[in-house]
Amino acid sequence: MMDAVGSIGYLIVLVLLIPFGAHRLRLVWLRFRRPPRREFPRWVGELPVVTVQLPVYNEANVVERLIDAVCALDHPRDRLEVQVLDDSDDETVELARARVAEWRSRGIDITHVRRGDRTGFKAGALAHGTALSRGEFLLVLDADFVAPPDLVARLLAPFLDEEVGAVQAAWAHLDGESTWLRRAQSLFLDAHFAIEHEARYRAGLFFNFNGSAGMWRRSCIDAVGGWRSDTLTEDIDLSYRAQLEGWRFAYLDDLRVPGELPASMRAVEIQQERWTQGGIQSARLLLPSVWRSRLGLEIKLEATAHLLGHVVHPLTLLLGSALAVAGWAGLTGVGLPGWIHGVALGMATLPFVLFYGSAAALRGVRAWAIPLRVLQSMILWLGLGVPLTGAVLRGALGRPAVFARTPKDGFARQVLYGTRRWMPSDWVRASVALALGGAVVNLAVAGVAASVPFTALFALGYVASTAESLRGPRTISAVPREQLAGE
């Protein structure tokens, strides 16, 4: 009985995973087969007023670095406005206020904008700042980014096409090589920008503003109803609404804005859970409009694949659980012929290996280092399966959520933000890690060679991510202080 259930469940999950792998392969194909698109190389005529918006919440470790970089932007001072949209309730407030005063004394038009509460979280802060701004174009930078001096000039040029509503730069990494965790994250992001964004851009498909390191035409934001806080990914929501109204987006892969990557497993989870739950929330809100529109079928299908991409996390968790159960039961080949395991391993891993390997090559990773870099990324991806499955379910069920900021250390950490105990997902992941580790040993002892590699890959992902949680500062928290008091 257990043999049959394991075999059937294993096959069902594999079949459900095939479209996700196929989608990754299609993005790689589009990236390399479609010719690059060209935008205007430089702004022509009188330079417009640009407002730089810096939404911050409890960012004592990085707020000064952020402000200093923005105030050094190469744009005429009479046409540059900087807004520090500060919803903080800690030391960040005084640090930001002092930095703003310093730069105002040097002739920079910079304001420290405070609200009475955090209504709407980041979306609310951006909407509030937009209502107070004077810029024709709005550049948004999160607290963990360091703007290069020519950022405004390069982002402005594509707006000479009046149909362009937003221009997104690629993200680079201030600290992408320091640990395996950061190397894995950097490849995640490199694949997103170098493959996904560039492929969609070249093919004329929808893609999104990424919440930071991008510029908006103000009239575009106003025309589609402004920022909304209905989801945790206000950037995806506004991007899709704008493109549904006919605005075109431009992407500049050769313009890379460095940002700080999360330093601990807990910080990675906070960031990824927000993006995952928000992505599913956005799918619920936006896909009906996408399919009711007169857009071409290719655009509709890609938008659907994009917005529902996080569904892969519960599927991989189910697959890992099935492998653990089968391994402990000692089922020979999970009740299946050995060749099926070879095919399964190929279908479940090869598309992602090609996807991340291509991104690594495009970003200049040395050929000999690519296999290890891809393995590290897949380990992290598998290890995030438990918390991100919870995020998918919360998004699908329409559960309300608090916008939890990602903890950042900066180059010289001044503040350790809060603490919280292990969450239920941590215990689940640790249990799955133990089950998979034991399954590998059991299969090896039983001589079931066909099942060992696939099971071992999942085991490595769960064991490594659990170990990283235990090793790192897992108590760093990004939830509001009033919530910490109740934990």
Residues 275 and 397 in one domain: no
Residues 276 and 324 in one domain: no
Residue 305 lies in a domain: no
pLDDT confidence tier of residue 476, bands split at 50, 70 and 90: very low
Q: Are 481 and 418 in contact (CB under 8 A)?
A: yes
Handedness of CA 310, 315, 319, 322 (dihedral sign): positive
Q: Are 273 and 388 in contact (CB under 8 A)?
A: yes
* Structural domain ending residue among the three candidates 265, 280, 295: 280
pLDDT confidence tier of residue 416, bands split at 50, 70 and 90: low
The pLDDT, as a whole number, for residue 410 is: 67
Residue 53 lies in a domain: yes
Say which DSSP state 311 is in. G
Residues 337 and 249 in one domain: no
Q: What is the mean pLDDT of the chain?
A: 88
Residues 20 and 50 in one domain: no
Q: Are 224 and 116 in contact (CB under 8 A)?
A: no
Looking up residue 254, the CATH number of its domain turns out to be: 3.90.550.10
Average pLDDT over residues 370-395: 93
Q: Are 265 and 465 in contact (CB under 8 A)?
A: yes
The Cα-based distances of 76 to 50, 361, 374 in angstroms read: 10, 38, 43
pLDDT above 50 for 35: yes
Nearest-CA neighbor of 376 among 392, 356, 393? 356
pLDDT above 90 for 162: yes
Kindly state the tokens that stand for 264: 């601990």
- Helices (H), ranges, 363-451: 370-383, 385-396, 424-446
Residues 342 and 246 in one domain: no
Residue 304 lies in a domain: no
Half-sphere exposure of 83 (CA within 13 A, CB side): 24
Residue 266 lies in a domain: yes
Containing domain of residue 395, as a range?
A: 2-31+310-484
Q: What pLDDT, in 10s, does the model give residues 295-312?
A: 999 999 999 999 999 999
Residues 271 and 408 in one domain: no
The pLDDT, as a whole number, for residue 484 is: 31
Q: Are 328 and 442 in contact (CB under 8 A)?
A: yes
Kindly state the tokens that stand for 194: 């170098």
Kindly state the tokens that stand for 98: 């002092």
Residues 369 and 233 in one domain: no
Average pLDDT over residues 81-99: 96
Kindly state the tokens that stand for 182: 């950061």
The pLDDT, as a whole number, for residue 337 is: 65
Q: Are 83 and 52 in contact (CB under 8 A)?
A: yes
Residues 20 and 130 in one domain: no
How are beta strands 109-114 and 137-140 bridged, if at all? unpaired
Residue 297 lies in a domain: no
Residue 436 lies in a domain: yes
Residue 177 lies in a domain: yes
Kindly state the tokens that stand for 160: 């000479």
* Structural domain ending residue among the three candidates 280, 300, 323: 280
Q: What pLDDT, in 10s, does the model give residues 165-182?
A: 999 999 999 987 888 999
Residues 456 and 478 in one domain: yes
Give the span between the Cα atoms of 354 and 374, in whole angstroms.
Answer: 9
The pLDDT, as a whole number, for residue 292 is: 97
Residue 14 one-letter amino acid: L
Lowest mean pLDDT among 247-256, 287-296, 381-390, 425-434: 425-434
Q: Which residues are catalytic?
A: 87, 235
Say which DSSP state 468 is in. H
How many domains is the chain partitioned into structurally?
2
Residues 331 and 254 in one domain: no
Q: Are 388 and 272 in contact (CB under 8 A)?
A: yes
Return phi, psi of residue 54, to 5°: -120, 85
Nearest-CA neighbor of 261 among 176, 177, 193, 194? 176
The pLDDT, as a whole number, for residue 286 is: 97
The Cα-based distances of 167 to 51, 214, 233, 423 in angstroms read: 14, 6, 18, 38
Average pLDDT over residues 18-22: 89
Residues 244 and 173 in one domain: yes
Residue 133 lies in a domain: yes
Q: Are 192 and 28 in contact (CB under 8 A)?
A: no
Residues 253 and 367 in one domain: no
Give the span between the Cα atoms of 253 and 364, in whole angstroms.
Answer: 14
